[in-house]
Structure 1
Amino acid sequence: MPLLILIALFAIADFAVLFTLGAKIGLLASLLWIVASGALGIHLIRRESLLTIQRARARMAAGEIPSDEILAGASFVLAGILLIAPGFLSDIVGLICLIPGSGQLMRRWSTRGGRGAGPKGTEIPGDWNVHRRDSESSASDGQAGDDADPIEGEYLGKER
């Protein structure tokens, strides 16, 4: 709910700035800016979504998780959506998303909410980073960690 309120306030501020600056620079210049930024946003979304899918497929073919590519692609798609929206504030935020390294900033921000590596209670079940970290620690010393539970079961041998 607070996110919805924040988005609504951002939209109201964006339109207020659009009308204020539009009155100062003129209707034609404002319309040209909106059309040009919208065209750039559409171009970004089309190009980056295809490139992100190609890079993600290449990483998955190599047996890796394409999280970095997906977050970088999401940053470009967010920039495209913000550039399509009519307004000067949304265009400024969209252009900030285009700055190199903004995808890494988005990754840091998205992992703060209890995701990723942290105390055992805040990890997401099935998180690949946790699995990889646990398997690397068990592979490094040849044994499972001290807190690993033994696997119980019965052994059924094959009859020949």
Structure 2
Amino acid sequence: MFLVVALCVIVPIVELAVFVQVAQWIGVWEALFLLLAVSLLGVWLIKAQGVAVYRKGRADMAAGKVPGRSMVDGLLIFSAGVLLLIPGFVTALAGLALLVPPTRVPVREYLIRRWSRNARMTVRTVGGPGGTVISADSTVRDRPPPPELGPGPTAGPPG
């Protein structure tokens, strides 16, 4: 929890300091344009990389493999998209780094190693051999409509 609060305080301060520095070097409007351009480039890269990861996952499933690496790649691409949506040069740089496969692969492998080390598998069986199996066939029949009833015994002529 402390880490989340620290990031929520530190990241905006760092982003503001970097933006001011970049704006002093190239100008305010140019810095804003650069942020917009990086975001648009990021959206395009997310689409391209996302489609590639989707195809790889589909190919893995068609080959009968679990698409574990593709799923982690998808998670990292989604994280990159979130980082690119946050305005700022530092988060944009981190997001772009996660989008590019040469930098995404080491992060993916680190996460897989870490999650595999912490993973536990539990198998439980319920019941067991020797139980009674009842096999039944059934047929669905439509019920006939209810008969139409005439006026009741208290009904008489109107009026």
Task: State the TM-score, normalizing by the size of structure 1.
Answer: 0.64
Q: 1:108 to 1:22 in 2, by over 3 A?
A: same
Q: Within 2, Cα distance between the matches of 1:102 and 1:71? A: 14
Whole-angstrom CA distance in 1 between matches of 2:120 and 2:104: 22
Gaps of at least 5 residues in structure 1 are 132-150
Could you list the structure 1 runs, at least 4 aligned residues long, displaced by more than 6 angstroms after superposition.
none
Q: CA RMSD in A?
A: 3.1
* Matched residue, 1:38: 39
Cα contact 2:15–2:88 (8 A) shared by 1: yes
**Aligned mates of 1:2, 1:106 — CA distance in 2:** 23
The 8 Å contact of residues 80 and 99 in structure 2, kept in 1 or not, is answered as: yes
1:22-49 CA deviation, whole Å, 9 max, x = no partner?
Answer: 1332112101211110101111222222
Identity %: 26
Aligned residues: 132
In structure 2, what is the Cα distance between the partners aligned to 1:49 and 1:23? 35
Contact 1:79 1:95 in 2 (8 A): yes
- Judging changes above 3 Å, is the alpha-carbon distance between structure 1 residues 109 and 11 closer, same or farther for their aligned structure 2 residues? farther
Deviation at 1:82, TM superposition (A): 2.5
Q: Rg: which structure is higher?
A: 2
Tell me, yes or no, if structure 1 residue 60 matches structure 2 residue 61. Answer: yes
Equivalent position of 1:5 in the other structure: 5
SS at match of 1:101: helix
- Name 2:27's counterpart in structure 1: 26
